[in-house]
Structure 1
Amino acid sequence: MRCYDEMRLQDEAVRPHYARFERWLVQQGGDAIARKRAEADLLFRRVGITFAVNGDLSGTERLIPFDLIPRIIPRSEWQTLEAGLRQRVQALNLFIHDVYHDRNIVRAGIVPAAQVYTNAQYRPEMQGVKVPLGIYAHIAGVDVVRAGDDGQFFVLEDNLRVPSGVSYMLENRKMMMRLFPELFVQNRIAPVAHYPDLLLDTLRSVAPEGVDDPVVVVLTPGMYNSAYFEHTFLAQQMGVELVEGKDLFVDDNYVFMRTTQGPKRVDVIYRRVDDDFLDPLAFRSDSALGVPGLLTAYRAGRVALANAMGTGIADDKSIYPYVPEMIEFYLGEKPVLNNVPTFQCRKPDDLAYTLAHLPELVVKEVHGAGGYGMLVGPASTTAEIEDFRKRLIERPAGYIAQPTLALSACPTFVESGIAPRHIDLRPFVLSGKTTTMVAGGLTRVALQEGSLVVNSSQGGGTKDTWMVD
């Protein structure tokens, strides 16, 4: 399966936006690069950027592998990406608001009512709740891939609940600037270091009415969460408190933080805790991660949450196929970025096609995430395919299927030297009084030859992402 090469044209000539970097790379000796790779590993370990790989029975945490060859995007391509991402996130926010208020898109017959109101991510508690500025997904991480000979961009997934990975984007850039400062003199690379400032501005902009100097906190599940490094990192970078559920309490529908100087009112919570665990009085009663009474305070408009409760309805994979129609319905525009063609296995014809072509398709659980609960047909054994066949027949509404895309490839350091490896991109879109982005994102790379699974939880690595003039 031929894929788009990010660095080289089909005749092996270097693409113009990679030319300067490629000349620099050729001049580097193998030993020098090896030393830089070892230095990067040491520095990342000191910082504490580790993760646990699924299926690793040792229970040890590893470094997220970082590759020194950046993914480079020319400004002209980035402008298209940015326009498409802004458009998509705007439509998704309008959809969530519509779901919990007027239900116009359901009344119009565009999205089936059952797909929304029987969905596990739908929160009836949010029906009719007024949220600041009408925005639900303040932080969105949208996974984008390139496929085909022409390298067309496709949106693979919308992450709107508690999207993670931005700390790796920032640390990757910091690492490249430390190891290779000359590259940032030779190339006009768009900065990303101001992301925490943009994030804080976004969070402050959605504070409850009448609050001029809002107190912002980051709510974490705690140190055993796989993204805890990111929670602490972002809190430090924004200069706000990192709190756990036990540090907060609700009184008279206001949220307070326990401090050594006494209770302090909290106005905005950047929550990195899933809906189910946010409030044991409203959702899971066994949750020790949330704040009793938080939903009541939120419904009363006394505290803002980012992202809002109930946002997950828009990033469920069963809703994904309808996003292009949402864009046309709410904005009256054609999508700038296309979806991957998707078969909804709840539909008899789509299920029949999927069952007949399982060895060729990627099948995903509609509620799955992190690369779990999926089948990559061309890379699967007969036994794995037959296991998924049984699952599909037993519970077809729980799955979607898509063609196996030949994701674009970027040169990557491997044991034998440099070789192409498949990549994706997760840019981050911030929505408050304004919509903002940094020109970059988290590029994830599948380090195993031929693998299309880029998730770090599945053994993938990361790269710095450059937007260049």
Structure 2
Amino acid sequence: MLKNYQTGAFFDEMMNSDATPKPHYEWFYKLVERFSARELDEKHETAQLSFLRQGITFTVYNNEGQTERTMPFDFIPIIIPESEWTMIETGMKQRMTALNKFLEDIYHERRIIEEGVIPRELVDNNPYYYRKQVQGVGIPLDNHIFLSGVDLIRDEHGQYRVLEDNLRNPSGMSYVFQNRYVMRQVYPELFFNHSIRTLEHEFSKLHQAVCDHKPSGCKGEANVVLLTPGSYNSAYYDHMFLAQQMGIELVEGRDLFVQGGVVYMKTIRGLKRVDIIYRRIDDDFLDPEAFRPDSALGVNGLLDAYKKGNVAILNGIGNGVADDKAMYVYVPEMIRFYLGEEPLIPNVETYFLSDPERLQYVLENMEELVIKNVGASGGYDMLIGPQSTEEERALFREKVIEQPNQYIAQPTIKLSRAPAFQGGNVYPCHVDLRVFVMNGTEMNVLPGGLSRVALKEGSLVVNSSQGGGGKDTWILSGGGETDA
């Protein structure tokens, strides 16, 4: 299978530079070598059909409208030894603790600004900073980040680095579970006699983390709902799957209303009070009275109920100020300021283009850098210098000169690669890892997370909307419960 595989100048997750498998992949390598090319093709097709039959889709929006697609799946997993995973877990908990303290601080005392650690204008001028709406509001557990999705990459030396923090409405958790389900159905041979950390109890932990945010006035069991924009949203499958697995109601804004500062859900048996809303709607659309008046997705008076402490909203309102791509640069400083520790997992080096010297450097070296819009996500409004044309660079040059504050630049990192089996061939593809952190009275990290792969040969973009796919992620367990 891998006789012609070339690792090149990149760190490879599975293979050494001498074309031998790494120790923790050796057993997998030997197992797969027993399959014929035809067997692998058949299994690959069965896996794709499994996603299609289950309706595991996402929506891509483009100039021609919208298209429903299944998530492309690759059967060669990312395997992480337990010792390595322990380091990732610890690093994620450190980062999320600091980011949550930052959010609690800037909506209350603003110490980090007063002490000059973060520039005042970077917070006050941030479009996602809702000081007017939620300044001083007390929330359950003082916890703003119930669920985060942190994107990790590995550089050419195998060093993990944080590429991005997703603290508003991170998507993709459903694919972690579906990837594992499909792997177990289509490739059961790979699970025999091998200790792989199980995902079996993770929904119980997720549900418990939600319920931990019960408002202080709530007596008895909290009534929890998941608020979705509706079936036309690109991540609707994610919403539906999570609500189903947690056993909570999936609702739209029209199913809820506020009366006397209390949120109610309309049911066939009458009104039912809502205590916790896990929302998958952006801040701007949550409440037409407090944010965008033209929103047809939200609930009138919801912010008032939130401020009165009658309902918890997860993730917290105003989290966007902490996962802005410009604020990302200061997360290491947040860790030092709030925790008195050095970051366990470093950032990618990042340049602010509001600095005239940095701007000039970037304009002169666009073909070597990655340039991103600080407010965009999903791989949009981004220039990957080494893969760009002269025309694309000229267009981006105009945008950057016009709005330098709206862009950051990063060196082009040689993202790690892993083998992918597509079209009957095995070839190296760039990968990253989205790690999901659940936070209630305790903080838990989902074992493995979502490995995303740039299936277009040579591409650096792993987002599913840009041609990327998914892999199962296995944490080798030294004991305890496993999926073996």
Task: Tell me the TM-score normalised to structure 2 length.
Answer: 0.95
- Whether 1:288 and 2:296 are equivalent positions in the alignment is yes
CA contact (8 A) 2:122 2:327 kept: yes
Question: How many residues align structurally?
Answer: 468
CA contact (8 A) 1:430 1:436 kept: yes
Alpha-carbon distance in 2 for matches of 1:72, 1:57: 38
Mapping of residues 181-200 of structure 1, within 5 Å: 181-200=188-207
Alpha-carbon distance in 1 for matches of 2:454, 2:161: 18
CA contact (8 A) 2:59 2:233 kept: no
RMSD: 1.2
For residue 349 of structure 2, the aligned residue among 337, 341, 348 is: 341
- Report the alpha carbon displacement of residue 59 of structure 1 after superposing the two structures with TM: 3.8
Alpha-carbon distance in 2 for matches of 1:100, 1:63: 40
- Report the alpha carbon displacement of residue 54 of structure 1 after superposing the two structures with TM: 5.0
Alpha-carbon distance in 2 for matches of 1:56, 1:189: 43
Aligned to 2:79: 72
Q: Which amino acid is the alignment partner of residue 9 of structure 1? A: N
Aligned to 2:321: 313
SS of residue matched to 1:156: strand
Alpha-carbon distance in 1 for matches of 2:67, 2:165: 30
- Report the alpha carbon displacement of residue 414 of structure 1 after superposing the two structures with TM: 2.2
Q: Which amino acid is the alignment partner of residue 326 of structure 2? A: S
- Whether 1:449 and 2:457 are equivalent positions in the alignment is yes
Alpha-carbon distance in 2 for matches of 1:335, 1:26: 40
Aligned to 1:214: 222
Alpha-carbon distance in 1 for matches of 2:468, 2:200: 24
CA contact (8 A) 2:209 2:441 kept: yes
CA contact (8 A) 2:60 2:234 kept: no
SS of residue matched to 2:270: coil
Quickly say closer, same or farther: Cα 1:77–1:301, change in 2 above 3 A: same
Alpha-carbon distance in 1 for matches of 2:106, 2:145: 14
For residue 257 of structure 2, the aligned residue among 249, 254, 257 is: 249
CA contact (8 A) 1:344 1:400 kept: yes
Q: Which amino acid is the alignment partner of residue 123 of structure 1? A: Y
Identify which range, 453-462 or 190-199, moves more after superposition.
Answer: 190-199
- Whether 1:203 and 2:210 are equivalent positions in the alignment is yes
- Whether 1:94 and 2:101 are equivalent positions in the alignment is yes
- Whether 1:42 and 2:49 are equivalent positions in the alignment is yes
Quickly say closer, same or farther: Cα 1:214–1:58, change in 2 above 3 A: closer
Q: Which amino acid is the alignment partner of residue 80 of structure 2? A: I
Per-residue CA distance 1:169-196 (angstroms, 9 max, x = gap): 1100011011122322231100123222
Alpha-carbon distance in 2 for matches of 1:365, 1:222: 27
SS of residue matched to 1:111: coil
CA contact (8 A) 1:170 1:193 kept: no
Q: Which amino acid is the alignment partner of residue 139 of structure 2? A: V
Aligned to 1:462: 470
- Whether 1:9 and 2:5 are equivalent positions in the alignment is no
- Report the alpha carbon displacement of residue 357 of structure 1 after superposing the two structures with TM: 1.1
Per-residue CA distance 1:59-98 (angstroms, 9 max, x = gap): 4322110001101111111111111111001100000111
Alpha-carbon distance in 2 for matches of 1:307, 1:3: 37
Aligned to 2:36: 29
Per-residue CA distance 1:316-338 (angstroms, 9 max, x = gap): 00100000000000000000000
Q: Which amino acid is the alignment partner of residue 72 of structure 1? A: I
- Report the alpha carbon displacement of residue 58 of structure 1 after superposing the two structures with TM: 7.0
SS of residue matched to 1:61: strand
Aligned to 2:418: 410
Gap runs ≥5 in structure 1: none
Moved over 6 A (4+): none
Alpha-carbon distance in 1 for matches of 2:389, 2:56: 34
- Whether 1:52 and 2:48 are equivalent positions in the alignment is no
Alpha-carbon distance in 2 for matches of 1:160, 1:350: 28
CA contact (8 A) 1:316 1:366 kept: yes
Aligned to 1:169: 176
Gap runs ≥5 in structure 2: 1-7, 478-484
- Report the alpha carbon displacement of residue 449 of structure 1 after superposing the two structures with TM: 1.2
CA contact (8 A) 1:53 1:459 kept: no
Q: Which amino acid is the alignment partner of residue 72 of structure 2? A: P
Alpha-carbon distance in 1 for matches of 2:62, 2:33: 38
Aligned to 1:223: 231
Quickly say closer, same or farther: Cα 1:54–1:406, change in 2 above 3 A: farther
Alpha-carbon distance in 1 for matches of 2:255, 2:61: 31
Alpha-carbon distance in 2 for matches of 1:414, 1:34: 9
Aligned to 2:279: 271
- Whether 1:138 and 2:146 are equivalent positions in the alignment is yes
SS of residue matched to 2:67: coil
Per-residue CA distance 1:126-170 (angstroms, 9 max, x = gap): 11111111110110000000011x200000000000000000011
Alpha-carbon distance in 2 for matches of 1:38, 1:13: 28
Aligned to 1:430: 438
Q: Which amino acid is the alignment partner of residue 169 of structure 1? A: V
Per-residue CA distance 1:207-228 (angstroms, 9 max, x = gap): 1014231011100000000110
Alpha-carbon distance in 2 for matches of 1:341, 1:214: 43
Identify which range, 8-17 or 139-148, moves more after superposition.
Answer: 8-17
Q: Which amino acid is the alignment partner of residue 175 of structure 1? A: V
Identify which range, 426-435 or 350-359, moves more after superposition.
Answer: 350-359
CA contact (8 A) 1:443 1:464 kept: yes
Quickly say closer, same or farther: Cα 1:74–1:334, change in 2 above 3 A: same
Aligned to 2:338: 330
Alpha-carbon distance in 2 for matches of 1:54, 1:460: 15
For residue 107 of structure 1, the aligned residue among 100, 108, 114 is: 114
- Report the alpha carbon displacement of residue 53 of structure 1 after superposing the two structures with TM: 3.7
Mapping of residues 362-401 of structure 1, within 5 Å: 362-401=370-409
- Report the alpha carbon displacement of residue 41 of structure 1 after superposing the two structures with TM: 1.6
Q: Which amino acid is the alignment partner of residue 82 of structure 2? A: R
Aligned to 2:480: none
- Report the alpha carbon displacement of residue 56 of structure 1 after superposing the two structures with TM: 7.1
Q: Which amino acid is the alignment partner of residue 95 of structure 1? A: F
For residue 359 of structure 2, the aligned residue among 327, 330, 351 is: 351
Alpha-carbon distance in 1 for matches of 2:354, 2:208: 42
Alpha-carbon distance in 1 for matches of 2:295, 2:205: 31
Alpha-carbon distance in 2 for matches of 1:48, 1:98: 42
Per-residue CA distance 1:244-272 (angstroms, 9 max, x = gap): 00000111111100001110001010000
Identify which range, 458-467 or 50-59, moves more after superposition.
Answer: 50-59
Identify which range, 331-340 or 128-137, moves more after superposition.
Answer: 128-137
Alpha-carbon distance in 1 for matches of 2:172, 2:329: 24
Task: Tell me the TM-score normalised to structure 1 length.
Answer: 0.98
